[in-house]
Amino acid sequence: MSAPTPAQTLILWCLLARHGRAPQGEVVPAVKKADREALAAAGLIAVEKSGRSFVLSVTDRGWHWAGDHLDAALPPAFRVMQDWLARLGVHLGQSGRTLADFIGAPPEPAEPADTAPKKASAKKAPAKTAPAKKASGEKATRSPATKKPGAAALRARIEEAYLALTGGARARAVRLSDVRVQLAEFDRATVDAGLARILKGDKTARLSQLSDPKALTAADREAAYSPAGEPFHLLWIQA
């Protein structure tokens, strides 16, 4: 694969500044067809047709390339940006964090408020009847809760699952595949929301990667949290 040109490298950084995905019309400077096609041919971006326009997404290969080439040349007019990227490269190298750590997860879309007034029901509520008695020996079953936990409650539940896996110890790496098993009462989206908050800047917890591909199991790949194309496999909670 030939190295991207300075203009193509700038396109990658414009997309990464938007968490790796944006409509082509929102990328400034404007994306030329030749540059878009060259990046797609190199496997650094994916191109989706959306109506009469395109949506560009940085691929896993693109994320890895950018993380390894923070010093890649940019057009002369963007010298200050190149200097800042060089400083970022030094910071990431010293802190041991990744580019995906720095960029973080995309913001969660705000839930629309339910402003429609509720109409009073004209029907009279039926009279309550006594519950039927269970047959002898029949065990009562509890239906799973459908209400999603708040951010603090979910964070506490994640920590509870972590400590259950470490036997109460902290500052140890725990695989997300095991954490998800402990949190089986929640759907994947709920757990991912909790992991996203940790990635955004939790002072006592962090996510990291299993850098050795041979150490990854199918369960690790399935359970990985990949908010911006770069997967995380481990959870750490400090004392």
Whether residue 99 sits in one domain with residue 18: yes
Q: Number of structural domains, the chain?
A: 2
Q: What is the pLDDT of residue 136?
A: 44
Whether residue 95 sits in one domain with residue 28: yes
Residue 112 included in any domain: no
Whether residue 233 sits in one domain with residue 177: yes
Res. 9: pLDDT tops 90: yes
Between 138 and 210, the more confident residue is 210
Whether residue 230 sits in one domain with residue 166: yes
Residue 73, φ and ψ in degrees, nearest 5 = -65, 140
Residue 115 included in any domain: no
The pTM (predicted TM-score) of the whole model is 0.49
Between 73 and 19, the more confident residue is 73
Whether residue 175 sits in one domain with residue 98: no
Residue 204 included in any domain: yes
User: What's the sign of the alpha-carbon dihedral 160, 166, 169, 172?
Assistant: negative
Residue 207's CATH number: 1.10.10
Closest-CA residue to 85 (of 100, 73, 75): 73
Residue 45 included in any domain: yes
Whether residue 155 sits in one domain with residue 86: no
Structure tokens at 170: 């902290």
pLDDT in tens, 86-107: 999 999 888 888 888 888 777 6
Domain boundary (46, 74, 103) is at 103
Q: Which of 110-114, 140-144, 213-217, 222-226 has the lowest mean pLDDT?
A: 140-144
Whether residue 95 sits in one domain with residue 15: yes
135 confidence band (pLDDT: 50, 70, 90) = very low
CB-based contacts of 3, cutoff 8 Å, min separation 6: 69, 72
**First CA to last CA across the chain, in angstroms?**
45
Distance CA 237, CA 174 (A): 9
pLDDT in tens, 185-207: 999 999 999 999 998 888 899 99
Whether residue 174 sits in one domain with residue 97: no
Q: What is the pLDDT of residue 103?
A: 84
Between 97 and 82, the more confident residue is 82
49 confidence band (pLDDT: 50, 70, 90) = confident
Q: What is the pLDDT of residue 210?
A: 79
Domain boundary (39, 73, 103) is at 103
Residue 99 included in any domain: yes
Q: What is the pLDDT of residue 231?
A: 87
Task: State the residue range of the domain holding 232.
Answer: 151-237
Residue 111 included in any domain: no
DSSP-derived 3-state class of residue 132: coil
Rg (CA), the chain: 24
Domain boundary (103, 134, 164) is at 103
Average pLDDT over residues 7-24: 92
Residue 159 included in any domain: yes
Distance CA 147, CA 168 (A): 28
Residue type, 55: V
Whether residue 228 sits in one domain with residue 168: yes
Distance CA 102, CA 176 (A): 20
DSSP codes joined into one string, 54-91 = EEEEE-HHHHHHHHH-TT----GGGHHHHHHHHHHHHH
233 confidence band (pLDDT: 50, 70, 90) = very high
CB-based contacts of 227, cutoff 8 Å, min separation 6: 19, 100, 104, 105, 106, 192, 196, 199
Residue 122 included in any domain: no
Whether residue 19 sits in one domain with residue 90: yes
133 confidence band (pLDDT: 50, 70, 90) = very low
81 confidence band (pLDDT: 50, 70, 90) = very high
Distance CA 189, CA 124 (A): 39
Q: Which of 67-71, 112-116, 213-217, 226-230 has the lowest mean pLDDT?
A: 112-116
Strand partners, 234: 175, 208
Whether residue 173 sits in one domain with residue 95: no
Between 111 and 51, the more confident residue is 51
